[in-house]
Structure 1
Amino acid sequence: MVWLDLSNNHFTGKLLEDFGDKLLCLQYLNLSQNQFEGTLPSSLGNMRDLAKLDLAFNFFSGEVPNELLVGCSNLQHLRLSYNRLNGQFFSSKFNLSTLLQLELNNNGFTGSLLNVKLETLDILDVSNNYLRGPIPTWATKVTWIISMRNNSFEGQFPCQQPMSEGLLFLDVSHNLLSDHPPSCIDFTNIAEIHLEGNKFTGLLQDFLPNSSSSLSVLNLRDNNLSGFIPDLIGTFLNLKLLLLGKNHLKGSIPKTLCLLKNISIMDLSSNSLSGTIPSCFQNLTFGVMEKYNETLEQDQMQIMNKFIDENHIYGDLIKKNLELVIDIEAIGLNEIYLVDKNRGSSYKGSILNFMSALDMSCNNLIGEIPQELGKFTQIRALNLSHNQLMGPIPVTLSKLSNIESLDLCCNNLSGNIPLELTNLNFLEVFNVSYNNLSGEIPMKGQFSTFEESSYEGNQFLSKLPWEKRCIINAETPHLELLPSDATKGKWYEVDLLAFYACFFPAYAVFFLLIVSLLYINSH
């Protein structure tokens, strides 16, 4: 047997220790998406001809046996992702120098990448592990996909040599990388850049490609970037996700952002941006993306291996195309963190097809909320909180027919809450607290479900419904135990002389009654 595929079933149990000894001729083994458990047998290392091994999405645990990492010297594609494996995978005994695809994401691997040298890789995914140390120079030669998110890599991104011109995806987010941007990245064909949650410093413009027609995701959130938002971003016409929040950006929002006709999620929050919200944002639809990862999928990134009966023993009977498809959603990529509905949420994979949001909260924006924002008919979340916006709440926001979260708190907004907003049937979170709003609070439709905290801090709003209920309960008449004119003191004041005169005779009568009963009936 040279080809065995048991993937996508419900197999359980452990692999026998002699599993590899009984299948020495295998070239392709796929046990992914089952419920196998236990440690990997060392006999897998005896399968010298094995070229493709896929054990992803199981419950395998323990360390990967050294025999596999040394003996399977012809291995080209190795997927161990989404298991419970741990220990050091990259050791000095590592002998898999022919690998094209290596996916180890979502395990518990430790150690460093400096012990090995892999210069033939097309795909490297070691995300969501416990790897540490600097990123090795050989990583810059990976051809298509580099994903190293959620580890403890540190230092600078290696740039001793230019990266591959065909690089489509780079994700080194949530590590400890610092200093200047990875200047060696060739942005010609890159579709997604994820550098979020590191310690990068410098000007934002230094982290941008000079030009890119294929860039769809630019994620630089939660770093220490400074400077202005350059007009250059407006040239990335295919950009769908722009995430610049939690940096130290300043200046006004450039009108060139209005050229991003395909934008679906824009996060400029938690910076020091000033000025007004550009009215030309009406040119943006913030519509739902047609298809996330469209750029990647258009490249048809699947690795094919035609198994052909070279000796023609079986003719055309067993000609078969063997595919090891790159699962873009399962590879551990593309996790986007947003604050909406008063909480932080992570969006990953295909769910991003249905999400659209604009977040400009926690800045120094001034002026009125542009009427033109009412044209974002497809937007799901709009957050303008914690700024210095003034003026009325635009009635045009009632046209945001798909909005689920609208946060305008902590500004200087005035006037009434437009009654037309009650037509927003999908609104789940509404917050206008700590403004200068006045008038009645609408209590119709979804607005009847919002808590008092959505409106607090507006001293000119009429009595809140919650306060009215309390007043009604407080004014309910009580039954007076004593007439108010019967005594000038309080109703609970007692004449002690009268109390003692009543208490002791009653006590004596009760005592004598008990003694009499016991005397009459001693039992």
Structure 2
Amino acid sequence: MSLVVPSSLLNLTSSLEHLSLRSCNLQGNFPSQVFQLLSLQLFDLSDNSHLGGNLPESSLSSTLEYLNLDSCQFYGSIPDVFGKMQKLTYLSLFNNSFDGEIPTSIFNLASLSYLRLSSNKLRGPLPRNISGLSFLQEFQMDNNFIIGHVPSWLFSLPSLSYLELQNNRLTGPIDHIEMPNLILQGVYLSNNGISGSFPSSFFRLVNLIAVDLSSNNLSGTFTANVLSKLINLEDLDLSNNSLLSLSNNSIGVNYSFPNLRYLRFSSCNIQKFPSFLRKAESLLVLDISKNKISGQIHKWEIEGMSLASLNLSYNFLTGIDLFAFENLTQVDLSSNLLQGSLPILSTTSDFMNLIISGNNLTGEIPYSYCNLTSLNVLILANNSLGGKIPECLGNFSHLSILDLRMNKFHGIIPNSFVNESQLITFNLNGNQLEGILPRTLGYCRFLQVLDVGNNCLYDTFPHCLGVLSGLKVLILRSNRFHGAIYNSTPAFYFPELRIIDVSHNDFTGLLPSSYFKNLTGMRDVHEEESELVYMGTGFSTVSYPFYYDDSVMVILKGSYVELTRIPMAFSTIDFSSNRFHGHIPEELGELKIPEELTSLTFLSVLNLSHNKLEGDIPHGKQFNTFSNDSYIGNSGLCGFPLTKKCHNEEEPRAPPSKFDEDDDSAVLFNWKFAVAGYGCGLVLGLSLGYIVFVTGKPWWVVNKVEKYQQKFVRRCTHRHKKRKTQKPNQKPNQRS
């Protein structure tokens, strides 16, 4: 109904009782007079995202029982016009742009059973006292800007089942509850600034099923005794309350948790593994990551637990017997102090996610892991594992993420990937792998990230991967790839590629201008991708969401930088330190540096240094943002930003400076370049700061960086010396 003029609805008969225009694509400002039809009982305008306007300042129809304006574009304040609407049982204004304070007349509606004002811009505090809402069953006011304390009357409404106030700006302690509601089932107050300890009256809400108070400033100690009082509780999330702790003083005491299924205490200053949870026979998900649990978790502490998902990442663990868990399907032990071999897993478990990165593990991947045919995720990065990569991993059709980077694996990469492979991320960076890149990777039609940089591979450019329509990251850096990249039939090659790094290899010939024409993923950045959106993979297992952020090492301003999260708007092309050459006359439209690159306006980094390129450097658009570091070591190049002039050129082609003449630090500035830079800087800064602050282990970060830099500086130096001693056409005999 996009062509229907909303004002035509004013001709509706005054005796109309039910009016539903849900999902009709109405557009423009809605006439406020319709809200005042004298006989109107049900009015549904929801899901008309192009419809807007203000609610009328005069009274709405007193006959209304159901009013739904979800997901429109209504704005302005909500007028205080609900005083005479005593028949109203359903009021939902979800996902609009209403602002200002909540009108007090809403809290006095005697018949209201459903109130949803979520996802607006509402401000101010909730009232301290109310006289209505005796029949209210659901109170949803999340994702607004509500301030002040959490008033006690919210927990005393006699009919309330669900209370949702998450993602607001509530502060202070939870008020003492005089008359606790005995039917309240769900309380969601996460992402606020609520402080203080729990009032003892809170634990008299004995019918609570789900409680989410994560990401607040709660303090005190949460004991097994208190937890056992909530006998119907199934889901408890108290994560990210750094002053809160979980006591383990219940050894030998017979507490019962008959219904507890999901327990999350991440970042809560926990010192010991809560062994009393062995008596929570229904517990499926336990997240106690980012705490201070140290040493060995003994078998007696976990024996008998029927967990399906266990997250102990970012602690100080030195050992745990995973074989004691018979039903475990998802485990995250990343960033601990585990040593020795990979843990032996129960053969009765159908493992889906196994994450043990960032430890001190040694040895090989056990052959028994070939029985884990249900694996979705296998992340063993940043350890000291060695041996060969098992051939069976390529046969896992369900495997989505295989991350083995920064280990000591050697031998060849398995060439056993199957047609129905679900592989999305394949990261082997920083190992000692040899041979060729397996051609069966071309079967992995969902592949988005392929990183085999810093190995010993000896191969030609993998043209077969060009048909992978979703490939976004291709890193072949620091191997022994050789030969020409150019392909005479590159139809639809790499359409979604955002990052390509083939630097420090032995590629020769001309730069492949035909490839650059097809890099639509760099050229056609969608509007939503220009915001801070990241590459990654997400899915749910055992009712617990899992999200993996892709990360890569790139060279920025001559230094290795790890992007722990890759912004979708970030693009880089690094062809440096190869043997590209050639100059073809411009009038024939042939290659110097391809003019096609100038249209890649979101390209953040371009590195063509240390090749044998010749001719004019293209100018305009994104090329005006690159410094001379992008082209050094190409004696045949000329033009801006290099000082070397081209033929018939008197001055370097530089755009006029927008800085003062006396500003010695004047630099070229491009907003798109700056946004990408700020995005990466924000990611790196926040990630590093978070790790240091939360883990308290800045020495770990320092050691990782120094170890990585020393390793690759030695390798690059050795390779550079070796190249200097070789003849121009001589192939290297072995990997440096």
Alignment of 1:241-320 (within 5 A): 241-279=449-487, 280=490, 283-285=493-495, 286=497, 287=521, 296-297=538-539, 301-303=540-542
1:124 aligns with 2:331: yes
Q: How many angstroms apart in 2 are the aligned matches of 1:114 and 1:231?
A: 38
The structure with higher relative contact order (CA 8 Å, sep 6+) is 1
* 1:328 pairs with 2:547: yes
What is the identity, as a one-letter code, of the residue corresponding to 1:41?
S
Give the secondary structure class of the aligned counterpart of 2:469.
coil
Cα distance in 2 for partners of 1:56, 1:93 equals: 17
Cα distance change, pair 359–138 in 1 and its aligned pair in 2 (3 A):
farther
3-state secondary structure, aligned to 1:137 = coil
Q: Distance in 2 between matches of 1:189 and 1:36?
A: 37
Asked if residue 81 in structure 1 is aligned to residue 303 in structure 2, the reply is no
2:458 and 2:657 map into 1 onto residues whose CA distance is 37
Q: 1:193 aligns with which of 402, 405, 408?
A: 402
Q: Which residue pairs with 2:632 in the alignment?
A: 433
Question: Matches of residues 21-420 of structure 1 in structure 2 within 5 Å?
Answer: 23=229, 25=231, 27-37=233-243, 39-43=245-249, 46-49=255-258, 51-68=260-277, 70-111=278-319, 113-114=320-321, 116-138=323-345, 141-160=349-368, 162-185=370-393, 186-206=395-415, 208-279=416-487, 280=490, 283-285=493-495, 286=497, 287=521, 296-297=538-539, 301-303=540-542, 324-329=543-548, 334-340=550-556, 342-348=558-564, 351-362=566-577, 364-368=578-582, 392-418=592-618, 420=619
1:392-436 residue CA offsets vs partner (Å, 9 max, x unmatched): 322332122211111111222222322x24554765895212220
* Distance change in 2, residues 1:427/1:105 (3 Å): farther
Q: Distance in 2 between matches of 1:115 and 1:187?
A: 22
User: What is the SS of the residue equivalent to 1:155?
Assistant: coil
1:154, distance to aligned residue in structure 2 (A): 1.5
Amino acid at match of 1:181: I
Question: How far is 1:76 from its partner?
Answer: 1.9
Displacement of 1:243 in angstroms is 0.4
User: Take 1:264 and 1:353, find their aligned partners in 2: how far apart are those partners?
Assistant: 9
Task: State whether structure 2 residue 644 is matched by structure 1 residue 444.
Answer: no
2:216 counterpart (10, 13, 24): 10
Deviation at 1:134, TM superposition (A): 1.2
Q: 1:115 to 1:34 in 2, by over 3 A?
A: closer
Contact 1:87 1:108 in 2 (8 A): yes
CA shift, 1:39, in A, is 4.4
Q: Is the 8 A contact 2:284 2:309 kept in 1?
A: yes
Deviation at 1:190, TM superposition (A): 1.2
Q: Secondary structure at the match of 2:481?
A: strand
Change (3 A) 1:434 1:360: closer
Distance 1:133 1:142 in 2: 24
AA at the equivalent of 1:224: Q
8 Å Cα contact 2:334-2:359 kept in structure 1? yes
Q: Distance in 1 between matches of 2:266 and 2:556?
A: 31
Question: Is the CA contact 2:600–2:622 (under 8 Å) kept in the aligned structure 1?
Answer: no
CA contact (8 A) 1:24 1:49 kept: no
Residue 174 of structure 1, CA deviation: 1.0
The residue type paired with residue 336 of structure 1 is V
Q: CA deviation at 1:195?
A: 0.9
CA deviation digits over 1:118-176, x for unaligned, max 9? Answer: 23112111111111221233167443111111111221111236333332111111111
Cα distance in 2, alignment partners of residues 25 and 133 from structure 1: 41
The equivalent of 1:492 in structure 2 is none
CA distance in 1, matches of 2:628, 2:374: 43
- Measured on the aligned residues, the alpha-carbon RMSD in Å equals 3.5
Q: TM-score, normalised by structure 1?
A: 0.67
Letter in 2 for 1:337: M
Question: Which residue in the other structure is 1:386 paired with?
Answer: none
Q: Which amino acid aligns with 1:125?
A: D
For 1:189 and 1:96, locate their aligned partners in 2 and report how far apart those are by CA, in whole Å.
29
Contact 1:34 / 1:57 at 8 angstroms: preserved in 2? yes
* Cα distance in 2, alignment partners of residues 168 and 368 from structure 1: 46
Q: Is the 8 A contact 1:20 1:43 kept in 2?
A: no
For the residues of structure 2 that align with 1:88 and 1:293, how far apart are their CA atoms?
A: 35
| 8 A contact 1:275–1:366 mirrored in 2 | no
Indicate the residue corresponding to 1:503 in structure 2. none
Say how many residue pairs are matched.
400
Indicate if the aligned counterparts of 1:51 and 1:77 stay in contact, CA closer than 8 A: no
* 2:494 partner amino acid: L
Question: Aligned partners of 2:425, 2:656: CA distance in 1, in Å?
Answer: 37
CA shift in 2, pair 1:118/1:57, >3 Å: closer
Is contact 2:359-2:383 (8 Å) kept? yes
Identity over aligned pairs, percent? 22
Unpaired runs of 5+ residues, structure 1, are 304-323, 372-390, 452-523
Unaligned 5+ runs, structure 2:
1-205, 498-520, 586-590, 639-643, 646-651, 659-665, 670-736
Matched residue of 1:328: which SS? strand
In 2: Cα distance, 1:179 partner to 1:38 partner: 44
What residue is the counterpart of 1:494 in the other structure?
Answer: none
1-side partners of 2:400 and 2:458: how far apart? 27
8 Å contact from structure 1 (residues 62, 87) kept in 2: no
Tell me: CA distance 1:21–1:416, structure 2 relative to 1, closer, same or farther (3 Å).
closer
SS in 2 for 1:84: coil
How far off its partner does 1:27 sit? Answer: 4.2
1:214 to 1:29, Cα distance in 2 relative to 1, 3 A? closer
What code does the residue aligned with 2:634 have? Answer: N
Does the aligned pair in 2 maintain the 1:417–1:442 contact within 8 Å?
no
